Amino acid sequence: MGTGQEHTVKAFDQDIKQLRALISQMGGLAEEAIHDAMKALQRGDTALADQVRGKDKAIDAIESEVEKLVVRLIALRAPMADDLREVIAALKIAAVIERIGDYAKNVAKRVPLIHTEGEERIEALSLLPAMARMASDMVHDVLDAFASRDAAVAAEICARDTALDDFYDSIFRTLVTFMVENPRTVSQVAHLLFVAKNIERIGDHATNVAEMVYFAATGRYLADEAATA
């Protein structure tokens, strides 16, 4: 291998490392946003909720960095096969993480509306943090799978989404029952249902990332694998 080619390979490797680092940084911020949004919800902490909303811009900024790096990688390095799959997956994953950050921001927006003075505390509120932890763990683990190109973990994360959906259905029934029995809580319950749906969507997006990771690692679509299993 000539010196010029060696330099090109090293430069490509450095770009890939930077791309993975940006995705990891985005993911960390998204996980933090989910955690802080739920903490704010539990405590009625509007100041923390405002911080979550303000920090969302940092996630958006990193997504822009990812987009620029991917364009540069494709234009200058002309990656092929599995390298190209990883680069395109990173671009798509960055967009999904940005949406996950938006869902956390949406939860934070509901904090002052849910904790209106004088409104009764709803017991189902205590179930939401556990659901959020499930979703956040899915995000964390799928980004680890992307960094290690681990197709098996990606497939396992997709299977977890069913448990999260079941959790959402249980919380939905609990909240609707409470609302029917306590009509004065209709407004508060509506906001909590919105929060639960946002958490459920975070899990859906983590599953989308897992499918991208699986394809990047194997060149095969997970849905096709499941259909022929």
Q: What residues contact 144, with CB distance under 8 A and at least 6 apart?
A: 150, 153
Tell me which residue of 178, 166, 168, 180 sits closest to 127, measured CA to CA: 168
DSSP at 219 = S
Q: State the chain's mean pLDDT as an integer.
A: 89
CA-angle at 20, arms to 23 and 198, nearest 5°: 20
Q: What is the pLDDT of residue 184?
A: 87
- Would you give the distance in Å from CA 100 to the centre of its chain? 4
pLDDT in tens, 55-99: 999 999 999 999 999 999 999 888 888 888 989 999 999 999 999
Mean pLDDT confidence for 9-31: 91
Percentage of residues in the chain having pLDDT higher than 70: 91
Q: What is the pLDDT of residue 106?
A: 97
Torsion, Cα of 159, 160, 161, 166 (10° steps): 120
Q: What is the pLDDT of residue 222?
A: 85
Output the DSSP codes for 61-128: HHHHHHHHHHHHHHHHH---HHHHHHHHHHHHHHHHHHHHHHHHHHHHHHHHHHT-TTPPPPGGGGTH
Structure tokens at 182: 């306590």
Could you identify the residue written with the tokens 């699986």? 214
Q: What is the pLDDT of residue 118?
A: 47
Residue 182, H or E segment: none
pLDDT in tens, 173-208: 999 998 999 888 898 899 999 999 999 999 999 999
Q: In this model, does residue 1 exceed pLDDT 90?
A: no
Using CA atoms, how far apart are residues 175 and 196, in angstroms rounded to an integer? 10
Report if pTM > 0.85.
yes
* Structure confidence at residue 165 as a pLDDT band (50, 70, 90): very high
Q: In this model, does residue 147 exceed pLDDT 70?
A: yes
Q: What is the pLDDT of residue 8?
A: 65
CA-angle at 197, arms to 191 and 201, nearest 5°: 145
Tell me which residue of 64, 46, 44 sits closest to 54, measured CA to CA: 46
